[in-house]
Copies of this chain bind each other. A is one copy, B any other.
């Protein structure tokens, strides 16, 4: 399966925020709805910095306040 892990970079630190993400949809400005392969959802504030699909990695960065 080709789900990915979602990471958030904040203060130069990259942390895993959700594993096995299947669906990602925008929910307004710099806000995203993530749904994993088990149907669990979460909302993430940030911008997409990089997607590395072959490496199953989606990296968000916290929005500048």
Contacts and interface: CB of A to CB of B under 8 A. Distances in A.
Interface string A1-36: 111100000000000000001111110000000000
Interface string A41-64: 000000111111110101000000
Interface of A is mostly: strand
A21 B21 CA distance: 17
A23 to B, nearest CB: 6
Contacts of A49: 25-26
A58 B2 CA distance: 12
A37 B55 CA distance: 11
Contact of A52 (B23, B26, B50, B51): B23
